[in-house]
Structure 1
């Protein structure tokens, strides 16, 4: 998959059919699925026929692309998408979403418009609201879709929301997760003045969003959309665009060259694009996780499916659903990294315990790292534990394969080395007086040759012990048949034979002990590496959440200061409660050793218990084998 992608032209991402049914188009989602790098998502919304598509084409660096149209009929239906490499952030993709014009008289469905607006907010990291003329009360009232967001979006699912999470309190936290807000005013022809004084574009926007003092329905209706804009969005910016061309040339705007456009319009467009490229951040989920193209496609599917089912999109539920999908995929991807890495050693079986544990540690660390890159919101460590178990099970199977390969190789080696002795035995070479001494010399020489052979693997001493035990009766027969030896000599030699077998058994057990100790040591080192990676991931997620809360607090504090300055003491006091609530939320996600201990320890104990089980199973298996051989 690519980190970014460049499309030659836009495609429909979310279709809006004639009945008002929304659906994710496969073509658009397939494109997003190919993008595994982070995305910066810019959505444009606004009334139909206000020139939204043109400024999106300019963001894509093109003159044409999104359909402009030159009649009163709305051209864009649903949400169209154009993915291009980000001009100033290598490895990132700029995803441009051009939405269906709001208030289309032909459609006449305000609820459907509301869902289009809602999706634009939920999917983007920057929301551009496009309007014409001036930012007057009519223009603000046309943004009633912002007021409706409180009914169309939930932060917490009903099952996890506490009694304290009242609707107003939850809505006050939209600022933590909503995109930047940019108001683009098209065909602006007035002087930028407020009360006879020159003003900036941002000052003009803030002036238009000022609240009225007083009580009553009219005051409340006037203030409501303004309060929502000020409260929901962490940052506000305004750009004024003069008419781009003469009235007669507006019909063919797509085909006009830059020299045919008004210089002031080109300058405003340049500043607008520069701001979007620099200030628009990577799209993040609740909790701060950076969104890739693939995640964005899944997010769109979740939200559209939720809306189509008649339910309200929930940020928490969406994150849980996405995390479940991504974490499952992360486990399989990381497991494949481990398996591929272990092929380095499996092709060389049999190998020593040192060799296999060394490669196992390296591959396990790499797999954990890959899992950490893709996984998120695995608070209980469910998927981290799943990966650990899958690796351990696979590793246990490899240990058995390695041991089997070692046993087969050693048995074949002993068979070949002792073939000459077997032939002599059949020919009666050891049946002569003094034959036992010759037999012992040949056997000791063969064992020495066996031990000199390299790369026998972990079963070398065990196989030799088994082999010598099996041939013990053969040595005993030769010993007692040797007429050169006295009965006392035979008794002494028999004791030596038993002592040699016992020594060999001890050697086998010592080898097993060293292997077990090496496995335990390797597992301890692996756990330490795993804990280190988990702690880094944990701290990174905590930092992301704190940054999320810091942005929200900064926005609320600015708003609080402005309300006090304008004399809205009552509203400022209400905002103080929101600020206190956000500060409490931030305290809950502060780094804590106890929290990390609770997060990590279950995973560590699971891994240790599993490796103990592997060793216990091997001990039982070896004991049973020895029992049945007796």
Structure 2
């Protein structure tokens, strides 16, 4: 809210000229126009030389200066003077004090001019103080009547127009221009009693009116005065002031006399008067529910003058109506601006989010208008209907802006993310064996990075869909090219020498699966802890890598393995080897987790917990069944150290596991016997189990990793044989969905059996 303009002294608000014309002082009007606070407008009227200015200076609480106080019989106040001060009791309000030219000014050529000025003051005020001296008698009523007669004649038309169905006597003055009436009686010395007790000030006013009415019941004019007072002032108050001082010289310069030199009772009465006006004088209202601000008051000043000088009450009504309409239009504009601000400050990424934000912002904007709406010829529902239409148009504007911003941002983002892919397309880097898989990987990486980008806006999914649609033809060409090239690559060259290290390595590294059918070959290593699975992974990476040994998988220690996770390592674009957590025995509860690893239901590169709850296991199955992606071709491999004696119990358990693994994957498991350089009885044992692919392998270790051709060739031929096995199984028509369902049923059955055994 704008601060109150600083006023150090009063200023003339309504000027009078020799031709008795009234004019609004533009400087005063500009001061009012800058006040956005509600106004409490208090004016003082009455005969001249009755001390009106003194009371107004008291109300201003300003020490030194103020309204001019006369010391002679000449009139000091001409026209209407204004002083705007912060309201002492109502924060956020401005107290406007109006001091008027008094009645009985003989210097004024037109005897009615004073009444017109006082009528104007009452029209502009929310509270009017009628200042008189002596007691309430016929003369006092006559003086008041001289003011109200003109004022009532001017405003009576408004009363009749507002209440056409009422009689003239019952018609009242509109409450928005009917001020609170306070009769301040100065130099009052009468000590009256009514029926044995001293009446209050208000009772005294009523008693005096009744007394006058009784004594002058035949004088119709006096009765009309009393009716007019009651009709025009719904709220009335009478306050008395004793003599300020017995010193006549002090009375002639009252504004200069310190309070300590005045009568104690008068000082107290003056303080009570100020307190009453501060607390009881209401805010000025434009209409019943609309409090008037300084800027609105400034706009109506000329209309107020026209009412009392031309009798043009209709012009005031039009001005008030225009102002109300302007206020409502402003409130509508502010509501639209509020809506727009609410819609812009919050990021939305879907149309549903936008609609929810619209509905919330619409509700707040309509509520804001309802708070600011002022009574007008056009009803509030009519304004609200128009506002809703304006807000819906604004919604469409905001939506179009958000669409354009989002579209441009998303297209720019995709262009940046596709730079490397576009370069690879220009250089035909996807027209090679495995090119389709590489293209899908790069495309999915673009999609992943695109989805990770925050605040893409409302067109994010639509732009992504258009982008993916634009790649369909390119993707189809890459797929066909890859299939044609890979079909030839999968044919085993007749001249590959199983003892040729270079040929074997090249074949394994360049091997490609049929494009789009399987994602990769997953070589799954199983076995007891400490039997050499991790060392075998290190050996494969060493042989197919850059010729430098690294302990990537982590070797086991002498007292057992240390792999607690299910870790995956890429041997080539098509081959991934998985080091599954080793088990202590092939029994519950390890069994369920072992088969979950085998079926690729357990997450890769995460810790394996043997003791999952039944609920956790079922949740894992449910989650896995919902996944939709290209399946892996699983090859089960059992790793067993020849240093360990195979007991009858372990023989039975391992045999059952190998048979079940073949049943689930469709692939006969491969057997790796570590620390076994020559033929052994252990090899024959696994042969009796029905295993065909058995390999005696000496792993490379941290302490022994010097390259040996024989070690290399055994591992390379093991990997070559796995690829030959894969080529054989690729001729089969495998229904992955059926296989997935069988795996899920098998694991659910195991979980239920485990629960039954526990209970």
Same fold by TM-score greater than 0.5: yes
CA 1:278–1:5 in structure 2 vs 1: closer, same or farther (change >3 Å)?
farther
CA 1:464–1:351 in structure 2 vs 1: closer, same or farther (change >3 Å)?
closer
1:371 is aligned, of 365, 369, 372, to 369
Deviation at 1:9, TM superposition (A): 1.7
* Matched ranges for 1:463-482 at <5 A: 463-478=463-478
State the match for 2:301 in structure 1. 300
Partner secondary structure for residue 142 of structure 1: helix
User: Aligned partners of 2:200, 2:417: CA distance in 1, in Å?
Assistant: 94
CA 1:74–1:354 in structure 2 vs 1: closer, same or farther (change >3 Å)?
farther
* Matched ranges for 1:105-184 at <5 A: 105-144=106-145, 145-154=147-156, 156=158, 161=162, 163-170=164-171, 172-174=172-174, 178-184=178-184
Relative contact order: is structure 1 or structure 2 higher (C-alpha 8 Å, sep ≥ 6)? 1
Contact preservation (8 Å) 1:43, 1:127: yes
User: Aligned partners of 2:214, 2:137: CA distance in 1, in Å?
Assistant: 18
Partner secondary structure for residue 227 of structure 2: helix
Between stretches 428-437 and 447-456, larger displacement belongs to 428-437
User: Aligned partners of 2:457, 2:242: CA distance in 1, in Å?
Assistant: 80
State the match for 2:244 in structure 1. 244
Unaligned runs of at least 5 residues, structure 2: 488-513, 517-759
User: Aligned partners of 1:9, 1:99: CA distance in 2, in Å?
Assistant: 15
* Matched ranges for 1:384-403 at <5 A: 384-403=384-403
Deviation at 1:149, TM superposition (A): 3.0
Partner secondary structure for residue 422 of structure 1: helix
Cα deviation, 1:456-501, whole Å, max 9, x if unaligned, reads 22212211222233333334444566671899xxxx999xxxxxxx
User: Aligned partners of 1:132, 1:413: CA distance in 2, in Å?
Assistant: 86
User: Aligned partners of 2:354, 2:395: CA distance in 1, in Å?
Assistant: 9
Contact preservation (8 Å) 1:175, 1:231: no
Cα deviation, 1:316-358, whole Å, max 9, x if unaligned, reads 545423312322232333444444455533xx6x745566556
Partner secondary structure for residue 244 of structure 1: coil
State the match for 1:545 in structure 2. none
State the match for 2:202 in structure 1. 202
* Matched ranges for 1:577-592 at <5 A: none
User: Aligned partners of 1:157, 1:268: CA distance in 2, in Å?
Assistant: 36
Between stretches 1-10 and 183-192, larger displacement belongs to 1-10
Question: Which TM-score applies when normalising by structure 1?
Answer: 0.67
Question: Which TM-score applies when normalising by structure 2?
Answer: 0.57
Partner secondary structure for residue 95 of structure 2: strand
Between stretches 206-215 and 34-43, larger displacement belongs to 206-215
State the match for 2:235 in structure 1. 235
State the match for 1:549 in structure 2. none
Unaligned runs of at least 5 residues, structure 1: 495-630
Contact preservation (8 Å) 1:13, 1:29: yes
User: Aligned partners of 2:456, 2:200: CA distance in 1, in Å?
Assistant: 81
Alignment partner of 1:330 is 2:331: yes
User: Aligned partners of 2:11, 2:253: CA distance in 1, in Å?
Assistant: 22
CA 1:213–1:261 in structure 2 vs 1: closer, same or farther (change >3 Å)?
closer
State the match for 1:34 in structure 2. 34
* Matched ranges for 1:268-283 at <5 A: 268-283=269-284
User: Aligned partners of 1:333, 1:176: CA distance in 2, in Å?
Assistant: 26
Deviation at 1:48, TM superposition (A): 1.6
User: Aligned partners of 2:70, 2:175: CA distance in 1, in Å?
Assistant: 35
Contact preservation (8 Å) 1:201, 1:238: yes
Contact preservation (8 Å) 1:4, 1:92: no
CA 1:310–1:276 in structure 2 vs 1: closer, same or farther (change >3 Å)?
closer
More helix by share: 1
Partner secondary structure for residue 414 of structure 2: helix
Contact preservation (8 Å) 2:41, 2:127: yes
Q: Which structure: larger Rg? A: 2
